[in-house]
């Protein structure tokens, strides 16, 4: 499974480096984050309990890697959202044979980081929300931009934020981010902590590590140098 995952992203990176044609339209590179305003609505803390956010913005390696460096995030798990449980596996999802998107389930402490802040990072650092069924070198609906609210309050906040970003003309193209019903199925172990375990992988170096640098620069109060991990490290 890991060999297939590495092969997929290596092929995508090779195509990018070789100038192989991708679907038409401008692509915002990872070196070009967009400064977005705070959301007009946020979700207030609901007591001492932890909350969950589920976001999809392209290959889950990078999405997970960014949120692992956000202070207040307790865990960030790569997985699949938007489809059924019986085919929520990498071989089918990456081939575009299912309705899933590669997504990340973020468990966070709302007293330390708000849902609105997670969305702000999502729209500014994590990905380009104007790309339709693609993200950078990865093409297909499995790489779509999507939000899977886990509460009615999250749905309201996400809907209002997209409307505000559109009304303010923050991006030069329409926002393609979909708001979809909640679902999440964890991905295979080989995909968890991928950026942390493979920091020199060509795909990570080109597409994802710059995003962590953008997070540190644009959100210094939210940045944590020591990431949270899915897997326990020996010793």
Tokens of 117: 């802040």
Q: CA separation (Å) from 52 to 44, 46, 58, 167?
A: 13, 12, 19, 28
The label of the residue with tokens 């749905």 reads 155
State yes or no: is 9 an active-site residue. Answer: no
CA distance 31 to 33: 6
Q: CA separation (Å) from 117 to 69, 144, 218, 231?
A: 13, 21, 12, 25
Residue of 5, 55, 59, 126 with catalytic role: 59
Q: State how far Cα 188 lies from the chain centre.
A: 17
CA distance 87 to 39: 35
Q: Which residues are annotated as catalytic? A: 59
């Amino acid at each position: 499974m890991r060999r297939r995952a590495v092969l997929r992203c290596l092929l995508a990176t090779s195509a990018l480096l070789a100038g192989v044609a991708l679907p038409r339209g401008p692509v915002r590179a990872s070196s070009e984050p967009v400064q977005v305003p705070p959301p007009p609505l946020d979700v207030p803390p609901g007591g001492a309990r932890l909350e969950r956010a589920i976001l999809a913005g392209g290959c889950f390696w990078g999405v997970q890697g960014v949120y692992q460096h956000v202070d207040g995030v307790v865990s960030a798990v790569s997985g699949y959202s938007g489809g059924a449980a019986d085919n929520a596996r990498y071989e089918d999802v990456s081939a575009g044979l299912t309705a899933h998107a590669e997504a990340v389930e973020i468990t966070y402490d709302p007293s330390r980081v708000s849902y609105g802040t997670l969305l702000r990072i999502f729209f500014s650092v994590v990905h380009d929300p104007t790309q339709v069924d693609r993200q950078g070198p990865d093409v297909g609906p499995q790489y779509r931009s999507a939000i899977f609210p886990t509460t009615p309050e999250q749905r309201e906040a996400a809907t209002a934020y997209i409307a505000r970003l559109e009304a303010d003309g923050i991006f030069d193209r329409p926002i393609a981010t979909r708001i979809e019903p909640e679902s999440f199925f964890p991905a295979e172990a080989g995909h968890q902590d991928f950026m942390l375990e493979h920091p020199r992988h060509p795909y990570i170096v080109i597409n994802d590590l710059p995003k962590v640098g953008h997070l540190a620069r644009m959100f210094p109060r939210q940045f944590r140098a020591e990431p949270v991990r899915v897997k326990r490290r020996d010793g």
